Amino acid sequence: ELSHGFVAYKLGDNTAKNSGRLTLNPLKHLDPMGLLMMLVFHFGWAKPVPVNMNNFKNPKRGMAITALAGPVSNVLITLVFLLLYGALYVPLRGSDVGGYFLQMIELTAYMSLGLAVFNLIPLPPLDGSKVLFALMSDESYYKLMRYERYGTIIMILLVATGVLGKPLDTAVEWLYNALIPIAQAGCDIIYNLFYS
């Protein structure tokens, strides 16, 4: 959410900044219903960062770039944690505590990638819908944006019924495996520096 707000701010919209949402403090981004859903259904959300697309020079383009900021930041987190996993693998693998830290690092990388893929689904209010809508005519774009609130209900139904489960798992697993060489590179760097 910070990424969305920061990019919107850089594109000319200070709504998130004025709302105190340009922060890493998780309490500022907490949505009580999203947290409850996470606890009950293992699926939830943060409080969306307020964005006023009318403050952008090109509203549709600005909204698409702002929407992409979230998934892009998740992919960057994945890359950093995979590199960190590889770099720490040799020194930490021999102990139980080290193994636990490696598992947490790997889980963070995997979950972050999963969030990126999930948020790129072109269903309102997910980020992918805003990117897709930016490619439409202005008339179609504003017409579809009126129905954004119904997308949340559809999304919850798709997740609750498991319809999205297998396709999402397959996509995330494939992408994660494609990124494993990042971890290997981190391992190689540390091994060559300290163990060869």
> What is d(CA 172, CA 35) in angstroms, rounded to the nearest whole number?
23
* Neighbour tally for 23: CB within 10 Å: 14
Q: Which among 1, 139, 148, 173 is annotated as catalytic?
A: 1
Contact residues for 175 (Cβ-Cβ < 8 A; gap 6+) = 113, 117
H or E segment to which residue 154 belongs: helix 148-160
* Neighbour tally for 119: CB within 10 Å: 18
Give me the residue label for tokens 């930490």: 92
148 has catalytic annotation: no
Instruction: Name the phi and psi angles at 95, rounded to 5.
Output: -125, 160
Is the bond leading into 125 cis (omega within 30 degrees of zero)? yes
Positions marked active-site: 1
